Chain A
Amino acid sequence: MFESTLQFILAGLTSGAIYALVGLGFTIIYNASHVINFAQGEFIVIGGMSTVALTAAGLPLPLAIVLATVVTMVVGMALARFAIQPAKDADVVALIIITIGASIFLRGIVQLVFGKDIHSLPPFSGETPLNLMGATLMPQSLWVMGISAGLILVMAWFFNATLAGKAMLATAYNSLAARLMGVDTKWVLLSAFALSAFLGAVGGIVVTPITFVSYESGIMLGLKGFSAAVLGGLGNGIGAVAGGLILGVVEAMSAGYISSAYKDAIAFVIILVVLVARPNGLFGKKGIDRV
């Protein structure tokens, strides 16, 4: 009994860590512009797919990973430069709709460039399951969790201790005031998209050995990651990770103890309940406008 409970938790943490890593990607652009970037799932796919294609072309995995993240960041910056910046005077909702359009466009491009097949990458440290008191976990899941944890630390440092990070927060809060203080807001938007693309690419690369990657896998990952970010509180790195892990564990527990047919429904009901009680998510701060 204990064994299976532990296995359900580990299953949940495996999925949850993936949702968390995707959810993290939404944080930066949201912090910089209050835009929810629905093309975040496509960054994941581009990162994963490019790595697959580059390793297939004969490059060693580490080099392929570096190049793939660069490719994804370039795509992210192009998105900011050619789709978001020209519409900078539009309101946030219009910008969000632009990102939805961009996601459909990018999905089409990925399909043309990389094809329609589902691909995988070899796990970073083998395929021997780790045994934990009778329950099992794949080493790749530890990679996903470790990298999520590492990225939270880096992001916390970036937003709290660097000028660039603070400039981003300032721009989101009041772009005109930030500009008057000498912040180059164009640069802020561009680098926010580049960083988000970087997070997406890293996420795509570490989760591909578990979930595989295809041109359309960004839809579901993006949706689950978005749910995780909303549950935890948009714009909050720790919130996104906590949201992802909670979502994953709730799904696995529902599948294990109630019914696998209702696991998605149960997860969404819990998100709704949380959002009714705390509209800004578990870790979100109340949005108060100070004068």
Chain B
Amino acid sequence: MRGLKTIAGLAVAGCALALSWTAQAAEPVRIGAFLAVTGPASFLGEPEKKTLEMYVDRLNKQGGVQGRKIELTVYDDGGAPDKAATFAKRLIQSDNVDIIIGGTTTGTSMAAIKIVEPAGVPFISLAGGIDIIEPVKKWVFKTPHTDRMAAEKVFADLQKRGLTKVALISENAGFGKSGHDQSLKVAGNYGIEIVADEVYSPKDPDVTAQLTKIKNTPGVQAIFNFGFGQGPAIVTKNTKQLGITQPLYQSHGVASKDYIRLSGDAADGVRLPAAGLVIADQLAATDPQKPVVSAFKKEYEEAFKSEVSTFAGHAYDGLQMALAAIMRAGSSDKAKVRDEIEKTSGYVGTGGIVSMSPTDHMGLNLSAFHMVEIAKGDWKMVD
């Protein structure tokens, strides 16, 4: 009896040893993410999380990366910068991740940068703010377009239409505030003069007072609204209510069907810059982005039965670039992977064609945006 026990014990020990051996032979690629899955930015963070999980799962079923499984760890920071910093620390110190994707908002990304830079872990942010990559930080990259690019795209379109006097109305918080500052900075480069500069709070029920002021400002040729969520829909409705006839421009922050749904008829004729993913079916057949965005849109919408958003696309791009870099590096050595991400060139993603360099850790240019106009409740590509 005793002998049997010993044998059984040995067998168990042997099995454990064997298991640990195989585990060592194919150490997984560890990807960490901290996202705003709950909280005010949750409608960005949730699709990002779903996208990462879906594609990691899919890749693992296909055998992983170079025969190694991918292990994804996602934390919910609720959009709070202090939590983001804590989770970044935890990902690095106790989860031993090879690379971090995440930071749904600019605030959480900036907080995590303070942790990842000294630790030397490659970090791909999914947030829009230009501060993330300017000035360039060694370990930090990002996938989404910046608010400055959106402003530039709008001003370029205005210039083309010969409109130079613009009234700016923006949200006085986060996204709108940063967009407002960038708009003021680049307006001059396109010969645009900002003749009125109004703001509103994200949850204001009515902005007709601000729009009346704009309406009474002499010489206004177009209105540009920088905001996010419900505010832009209220601006759009109030513009129509006041009978303002100048063209209204919105930022890429509202490039979703929700904006059209909330604004109703008032959205007709509104122009905004949007990524290829938003108008996947309208892209020319020769557009290199067409197959990528069509496939992603189809896969996402089939899996989750909801409209694909550009935020999901940012997560997809981040994951793809990270894995491509790991494959090129031939290992998950952090320094090598970082170098390979920086060498990303001609990657066709949902956000545009990405070519990074030591001085550009985003790698997108204005061609990543299409100018779209809303007509009869749908997008119409202008260029």
Interface residues of A (CB under 8 A from B): 4, 7-8, 10-12, 14-15, 18, 111, 116-118, 120, 127, 129, 136, 138, 207, 210-212, 214, 216-217, 219-221, 251-253, 255-256, 260-261, 264
Contacts and interface: CB of A to CB of B under 8 A. Distances in A.
Contacts of B216: 4
B234 interface: yes
Contacts of A120: 233, 261-262
B265 interface: yes
B258 interface: yes
A45 B225 CA distance: 27
A10 B234 contact: no
Interface stretch (B2-10, B40-48, B114-122): B40-48
A169 to B, nearest CB: 32
Contacts of A219: 203
Nearest to B229: A118
Q: Helix, strand, loop or mixed for chain A's interface?
A: helix
B60 to A, nearest CB: 28
A14 B208 contact: yes
Interface of B: 38, 40, 42-43, 46, 172, 198-201, 203-210, 212-213, 216, 229-230, 233-234, 241-243, 258, 261-262, 264-265
B242 A211 contact: no
A237 B42 CA distance: 37
Contacts of B261: 120
Given A118-B230, A264-B201, A256 B209 contact: yes
B241 A136 contact: yes
Contacts of B229: 118, 214
Q: Which of A211, A256, A260 has the most CB of B within 10 A?
A: A260
B230 A117 contact: no
Q: Which 4 A-B pairs have the closest CB atoms?
A: A220-B203, A211-B205, A11-B208, A255-B209
Contact of B204 (A10, A15, A116, A117): A15
18 contacts: A4-B212, A12-B209, A14-B205, A15-B206, A116-B42, A117-B258, A120-B261, A129-B242, A211-B203, A211-B234, A212-B262, A214-B229, A219-B203, A251-B209, A255-B200, A256-B209, A260-B199, A264-B201
